[in-house]
Structure formats: C-alpha cells, structure tokens
Structure 1
C-alpha cells in the first residue's frame, strides 16, 4: 500500500511539474514527423515560427491542423488542448490568404498546395478551412470575398445568415442575387460592385426584405432598371449604382427619407422623379455622365444638399430654386453641359452660393491659385464606392 501511495504521489508531482514544463509536439509534413519542443503557453504563431526555421516554409504559408480544426495564430497551445505528444499536420500553401479561398459545392477548396497531399487529406483540409471561415464570419459579422472569381454567392453566406451585418463580394463574376438574400435580416451593408449582376437574375423582392440595410453598392454591373421595391429599403442612407445601364430612377426613390448619398454616374438615366424632393437628408448627389436634359424643380427641397455633380449631361438649365433654397450647396460640377456662366449669374441665390463655393475652395487651396471660372467644375478623380 505504501508503494502504491508513493507511486501516486510521484505521478501527481510529475503532472504538476509538467504543467509548466516544455512540451514536445509532433508535426507531420511532407512525409516527415517533425518534433518541436516549446512552452504550452506558446501560441500557434510561435509554433509556426519554429516550423519556419525547421522547414523554410513561411509562417503565413502554413496551415496547421489539429484534430480536424484550424486555430487562430493568437491562441495558446494549452487553450486548444495541444499537449505533450500531440500530433498535428502541416500543409504548406502558395497562397497567403488560404482561409479566404472560395469553396466548391462539395466542400473542396481551390488550394495551391506544396508537397504531397492525398485527395482525402485535401477534402479534410478544405472542410477544416471552411469551418474556420464560418466561425470567423459568425464572430465578426463580416463576409469579405472580393476578387475571388466567384460565380455565385457561396453557401457559407446562408449558413451564417443570422450573424452577418456586412457582405463585401466585389470584383467577382456573380450573376445572380437570389431571393434568399432576404434571409439576412441583420445585414447593414451590401457591396456587390464589379460583378455580372443583371435584371433577370436580380431578386428585388428578396432585397426589399433587408429592413436594416443602410448601404447598398451595386456599381459596375449590368442592371438596366431599379425596381419600385427599392423604396421599401427605408433605412438606406447610401446608394451606389454607378456604371450600370440604368435608364431611369423609380418614383419610389422618394420613399428613402434617410438617404444621404446617391451616386448614379455613368448610366443612361434620362429623367429624375420629382419624388427625389422627399429625400430631405440628401447631402450628395452624383448624376454625372448620363443623358439628362432637365432636373425636377423639387431639387430645391433638398435643404441639406452640399454636393451636386451633373457634368457630362445635356442640361441647359437648373431648377429655378436650387441656389435660393439649397443654402448648404457648395460644390456644383457642370462641366460638359450646356449651362453657361451667364445663366448661372442670373439665377436667384447665385451670389450666396458663389461665396460658399469660393470659401470652400480657399480653405484647402492657395488663394492665388483660385479658378478663373465662375464656378467649381468639380474633380473627376473622386473615389467611387
């Protein structure tokens, strides 16, 4: 009995000592088993740094898998139960951001992998990566897969639907916005710029269910119309629809009474609805490079309007009360229109606008370098959302 008690005490003492002692883990890589000894309080990144010196694989190009999971670089070995004798697998990739690579329907990612990996291992790795990605999306509420050659919104989006507040899938080849986009009830911001979205596959009914949406950015797609259901997005504060083939804005635009920014340049818009006057919070409107011949008189109701870009249109006149009532307007861009300086000088409220315009200009520019023209033509280099 005494020997048994002594043995148990020895084991307990050894266990206590090992709690803070270095541990040795075994990493399988390219047919080798690499032992690495380090503190249990070391992070995954510390382990990757050690492996870098042993394998010449950069830390950013390493994927470490333990029990089918990929853990964040900042977590400690102890916190994810990596202990003495634990076995991990390392994959070396050619892609720095492998966690964000697009996945196919069967769960296998398009991996660029160095070394020998079996098809079974590849599928297991892809699934682990997808699981890690979904956890990250759920935690951050942000899904960002820009420039990934996607042809459709991935299934991961719908799996994370209750958690997502922002989607950024710009610069892809996405053709369809499906009806189930309406399941993303918490979504605040949707960026789908530079895709292949077209009217036939664009579910405005689904989109109109997003009552919390504040930013909608659809620049550089293939849309020709905006549905009346756009007016149901009553929380919208920013709308970006530049570089499409849109021919008109719907009357329901006037229902967007929280809208502050409207950018719709480089389309084929020939008319603006009078209802735009109901968008009383608008402070920036860009309708440049369209085929407008006139603007509705209700523009004079936009008392918060500060910036108005109208260049490269067929305009000859402006709303008669624009300068009189839009007393915050300080930037007007009309280059490439038929509006003359003489016409502007005769407009009611022009002098007050001109003082604001010059004051804004002089705040950021040497007064001696001021423009010789009667108004600010605008800056074509502005950054589009």
Structure 2
C-alpha cells in the first residue's frame, strides 16, 4: 500500500483543521493519504494527481456509492477517518509523466489490453450505477471479466463501484465472462436473490462456497455451462442455501449430487441435465417443493424410490439416459400432479409404464393436457393399442 502526505508541506491547500487518513483505491492499488477534513474534494484530487498520473478534471471519486463534488469539503461530504474512496479515471487521459508502477505486475501487450478494457469498464459501470440502484440488478454479463488467482478474496477485475451496490443488489449477473474464481467477497451481497454465474470457467476448487453459503436470501443460483474447467462436484455447504428455489447446474461434468441437497425444502426447479450423474441421492425426496426436474443426458440407470415423495412434481425429464431401466413403482400414484414425462432414448417402455400403479390416472391427465412425451416406440405402441 502506498502512503502519501497531503498536509504540512509548503504550498499545500487547506491543511488546517483535523487530519484524517483516507484510503484511495485505484487500478488495483490502495493509496493511503493524510489530509485535512476541511479540505475540498478538488484539493484531494490535486494531491492524487502525482500519485496516480490522472489529471484532477479526469478523476471521479466515489464514496459510499456517491460521487464526491469538487466544491464540497470532505467534512461536508461526510468522509471520515479511514474512509475508503474509489478513484475512477474518466476519458483515459494522463498528465504525461510515467505513472506509479503497480507491484508485481509484468508489462505485456495482453496486460495492456486487459487494463484498457478494465478502464473502459470502470467508466461504463459508473454510468450504469444509478440504473443498477433503481432496478436492483447489477448486469455484468459479457464484460470480459476474469480472475486468475486461486487465493483471491476479491474479484480484482471488477471495479469497486460494483461492491458499492452490495446494499441494494438483488440480482448479480456475471454470466458469459472468463471468471475462474468466486471469491469470499461474494458474501458482501447479502441482499442477493439471484446469482448468475453460467458460462464462465469455474472449477471444483474455484468457488468460495463459504461465501455463497452466507447468502441467506438467495433463491436462484445458476452455474450451468462451466464444463471448460470441469465442475465435477457440489459441496455439502450447498445445504446452507435454504431459501433456494431454482438451482441450475446443467452442462457441467458433475458425477454426483451432494446428499445435503435434501436440506433445500423450498427448491422448486432442479436443472442437472448434460452431466455425468450415475445416481441420485435418496434424500432428493426431502425436496418436497420440487415442480420441475431435468436429469436428461446423464448416466442414470434408475431413480430412487424417494422420487415418489415429490407430490408437487409436474415435469420430469429423463431423456437420453440410455441405460435407464427403472422408475419408482409408486411414481404415478404418489405424484398426482405429474403432467410431463420425457423418457426418450432410455430403456423405459410403454409396457413397463403400464405396470406402474397410477398409470391410468396419469394417462388421463396427459390426455387432458396433451403434453405427454414418450419415445417413438412407446408412442407407436400407444397408438396401436388405441386402434
């Protein structure tokens, strides 16, 4: 952390009064600065110019989500000792002297491109902030964001203004990026109800589930299409997300679901299709609110009998489990709201289904709703029988 003194030197402006320390965050650095509480915001910018190589007129200072005004003092702006202030460079203009070097960063063309992208993001996000605040939706999809450090506590590629939205954000959309980490700092967003992390580069060890588990208001979690870095397991801490209603982990390389999934009694939708699941834990029967389950394109050979406990189940998709031969005997009897069953490309036949108790009532429901799906052979068998 860099330390500078803005008080006591000859020629300094407004140095009288109570001295405070402010911490300026800029381009991944933290600059600690001593300055009078009665200094104007424009004076603070003047002191930051040689430290950041950014002209005062091109500096935007954000404190607690608000833009600091040049003609106001730090005191009237309610800046306190130890305050953390974010500096965003607008227009990308510099004063023409070499900037302060960032520690441990090698200069390269790739790094220059990414830093330029981050600067553009900072400006863009500053403009978007008021919209985020009004809607509660922080939209960062397809912003070329990435994090490569395995021990990261924060998303270093994401400007601090995003964290300023932690008090009001109900939706955080980080989909279609290059994120390789979900750091512990995700727990700052305690108001989150919906978190979209699909189509990134997340793996088994790259998600801070301790941070995620603290999001007690989270109802929708999407982790689909992270198969590039092999998301193969979900941890037991998933069970702490007790408010979860929708869980989408499709198109990964999951080999199993944790037994703690049974601790999600409010779960209504489970999308786990296009994985490598060979079994489903019996505790799935505890997810009594489930309405839709998609387990297609996996390696299942049977479903646990506990599926019959899902009395609210309406849609069950099991297609392309080529070795699937067994369904719970009481599935149709107990799941009285079941309307859609998809068993394309499985070993399940119409004859097998007709042997299950409750089939007649299910068949009546599907005729009334006209949304019943079976494989070709089963459909032909049904048509022949009707003739």
- Residue aligned with 2:146, SS: coil
Distance 1:180 1:306, change over 3 A: same
- Residue aligned with 2:365, SS: helix
Separation (CA, whole Å) in 2 of partners of 1:263 and 1:218: 10
Alpha-carbon deviations, 1:261-294, whole Å to 9, x = none? 0010000111111111111110100000010111
User: Is the contact between residue 68 and residue 124 of structure 1 (CA under 8 Å) also seen in structure 2?
Assistant: no
Match of 1:138 in 2: 133
User: Is the contact between residue 108 and residue 126 of structure 1 (CA under 8 Å) also seen in structure 2?
Assistant: no
Q: Give the alignment partner of residue 332 of structure 1, picking from 327, 341, 361.
A: 341
In the TM superposition, what are the counterparts of 1:17-32 in structure 2 within 5 Å? none
Is it true that 1:147 corresponds to 2:161 in the alignment? no
* Aligned-residue offset at 1:247: 0.6
Separation (CA, whole Å) in 2 of partners of 1:284 and 1:263: 8
User: Is the contact between residue 58 and residue 89 of structure 2 (CA under 8 Å) also seen in structure 1?
Assistant: no
Q: Which has the larger radius of gyration?
A: 1
* Aligned-residue offset at 1:179: 1.0
Separation (CA, whole Å) in 2 of partners of 1:124 and 1:353: 58
User: Is the contact between residue 185 and residue 210 of structure 1 (CA under 8 Å) also seen in structure 2?
Assistant: yes
Separation (CA, whole Å) in 2 of partners of 1:125 and 1:260: 39
Separation (CA, whole Å) in 1 of partners of 2:353 and 2:362: 10
In the TM superposition, what are the counterparts of 1:1-385 in structure 2 within 5 Å? 107=88, 118-119=93-94, 129-152=124-147, 153=155, 154-155=158-159, 156-222=161-227, 223-313=231-321, 314-361=323-370, 372=380, 374=382
User: Is the contact between residue 68 and residue 128 of structure 1 (CA under 8 Å) also seen in structure 2?
Assistant: no
Distance 1:252 1:124, change over 3 A: closer
Distance 1:119 1:186, change over 3 A: same
Query: If the length of structure 2 is used for normalisation, what is the TM-score?
Result: 0.62
- Residue aligned with 1:356, SS: helix
Distance 1:108 1:242, change over 3 A: farther
* Aligned-residue offset at 1:341: 1.3
Separation (CA, whole Å) in 1 of partners of 2:263 and 2:121: 45
Which blocks of at least 5 consecutive residues in structure 1 are unaligned?
A: 1-65, 70-104, 112-116, 364-370, 376-385
* Aligned-residue offset at 1:199: 1.2
RMSD: 2.9
* Aligned-residue offset at 1:120: 5.7
User: Is the contact between residue 121 and residue 143 of structure 2 (CA under 8 Å) also seen in structure 1?
Assistant: no
* Aligned-residue offset at 1:213: 0.2
* Aligned-residue offset at 1:230: 0.5
User: Is the contact between residue 233 and residue 255 of structure 2 (CA under 8 Å) also seen in structure 1?
Assistant: yes
Separation (CA, whole Å) in 1 of partners of 2:177 and 2:369: 39
Count how many residue pairs are aligned between Structure 1 and Structure 2: 263
Which blocks of at least 5 consecutive residues in structure 2 are unaligned?
A: 1-56, 61-85, 97-115, 148-154, 373-378
Separation (CA, whole Å) in 2 of partners of 1:150 and 1:175: 10
* Aligned-residue offset at 1:139: 3.1
Match of 1:29 in 2: none
Alpha-carbon deviations, 1:95-154, whole Å to 9, x = none? xxxxxxxxxx98458x8xxxxx84469999976544333333233221112112211441
Separation (CA, whole Å) in 2 of partners of 1:245 and 1:221: 8
Q: Which moved more, 1:281-290 or 1:141-150?
A: 141-150
* Aligned-residue offset at 1:372: 4.3
- Residue aligned with 2:370, SS: helix
- Residue aligned with 1:202, SS: coil
Separation (CA, whole Å) in 1 of partners of 2:382 and 2:170: 45
Distance 1:342 1:140, change over 3 A: same
User: Is the contact between residue 193 and residue 219 of structure 1 (CA under 8 Å) also seen in structure 2?
Assistant: yes
- Residue aligned with 2:166, SS: coil
* Aligned-residue offset at 1:362: 7.2
Separation (CA, whole Å) in 1 of partners of 2:294 and 2:119: 49
